[in-house]
Chain A
Amino acid sequence: MKENMTNKKFYLVGIAIALAIAGFLSFYASSSPDGLEKVAIDLGFIDSAKDSAVAGSALADYGVAGLDNERLSVGIAGVIGIIATGLIMVLIIRLIGKKRD
């Protein structure tokens, strides 16, 4: 039997991959409209979309407001998203998860 990877290594590698995708690879994502946007454009209801109430926020559309370097802007936004998601998950799991005895 092959040994399973240790917890520490598994989670460190997992977090590193997520950070690399959100912080680096995200710059290379396709900027074409996504499936729903494309359908809305083709059928002609894209104009009914309204700006979200937070559309003017500092991180709207995965960019850091005022940062012109696009690679840096989307990368930092991605890393912030990863950290925010991770923190909220830890918080929720602590709140609802089984207590350690």
Chain B
Amino acid sequence: MHIPDGFINIPTASASAALAATGLGYSVRAAREKLDEKAAPLVGLVAVFIFAGQMINFPVAAGTSGHLLGGALAAVLVGPHAASLALTVVLAIQALLFADGGLTALGLNVFNMSIVGVWGGYGAFLLMRKIFRYTRTSVMVGSAVGAFLSVPLAATFFSIQYAIGGAGTFAPSTVFAAMFSTHILIGIGEAIITTLTVGAILKTRPDLVFGMLKERV
């Protein structure tokens, strides 16, 4: 999922970086209102957990692996604004320290994962919670659906970026079909990890889970 340098040209990467920075700026302003002494530590824990989770590539099909994106997971646990911030920190550390994801591609990756992955997953979560009401079960179902959809959605945005500024001359529909079908499979793993993690925290500290709190949404 991490785009390396070279796949997508600099103008497209720069435009994505500008969009990502705008979204992130908005998120930071909104998050600071909610980062009180009770909520803040979980944001830090979510970031380190996503860093760890993204190291674990799981096999999804012959010769293909995937790993946690974490956008929906973070959004359900700490809210979408703090989630964007946490994901961005993870992506920046991966790019700068571990050469995972390109440096010029960082804006593309932040846009696809910290913005699209987080808000796409959170949107689906909200919809599920609206249908099934505020129960632990509905938060679990919403987490699963949000996580599942967030991965092919982020992959779709890669396809759009590639159609605009890709280094190759492949038909956009070919890239999209390949990206979407592969990432649907990874989305299943995403849903399992996200639901198990949200479930574990709902069991131990339901009071900390943003997606369970009515007054903070």
List chain A positions with a Cβ less than 8 A from chain B.
4-5, 7, 10-11, 14-15, 17-19, 21-22, 25-26, 28-36, 38-40, 42-45, 48-55, 57, 59-62, 74, 77-78, 80-82, 84-86, 88-90, 92-93, 96-98, 100
Q: How large is the interface on B (under 10, 10 to 19, 20 to 34, 35 or more residues)?
A: 35 or more
Between A and B, 12 residue pairs with Cβ closer than 8 Å are A7-B41, A32-B65, A38-B63, A38-B64, A51-B5, A60-B98, A85-B51, A89-B86, A93-B35, A93-B43, A97-B35, A98-B37
Tell whether B141 is near chain A: CB-to-CB under 8 Å.
no
Binding stretch for chain A, among B11-19, B88-96, B115-123, B129-137: B88-96
Chain B contacts to A: CB under 8 angstroms? 1-7, 28, 31-33, 35-37, 40-41, 43-45, 47-49, 51-53, 55-60, 63-67, 85-86, 89-90, 93-103, 155, 158, 166-168, 170, 174-175, 178-179, 182-183, 185-186, 204-208
* Nearest CB of A to B19, in Å: 20
Tell whether A36 pairs with B64 under 8 Å between CB atoms, given A14-B45, A52-B102, A89-B89. Answer: no
Contact residues in A for B86 (Cβ distance below 8 Å): 89
User: B65: which A residues are within 8 A, CB to CB?
Assistant: 29-35
- Give which listed residue, A38, A49, A77, contacts B6 with CB less than 8 A: A49
A49 to chain B, nearest CB (A): 4
Question: Considering the chains assembled together, what is the distance between the CA atoms of A62 and B111 in angstroms?
Answer: 23
Q: Which residues of B contact A80 (CB under 8 A)?
A: 97
Contacting residues, chain B, for A50 (C-beta < 8 A)? 4-6, 102
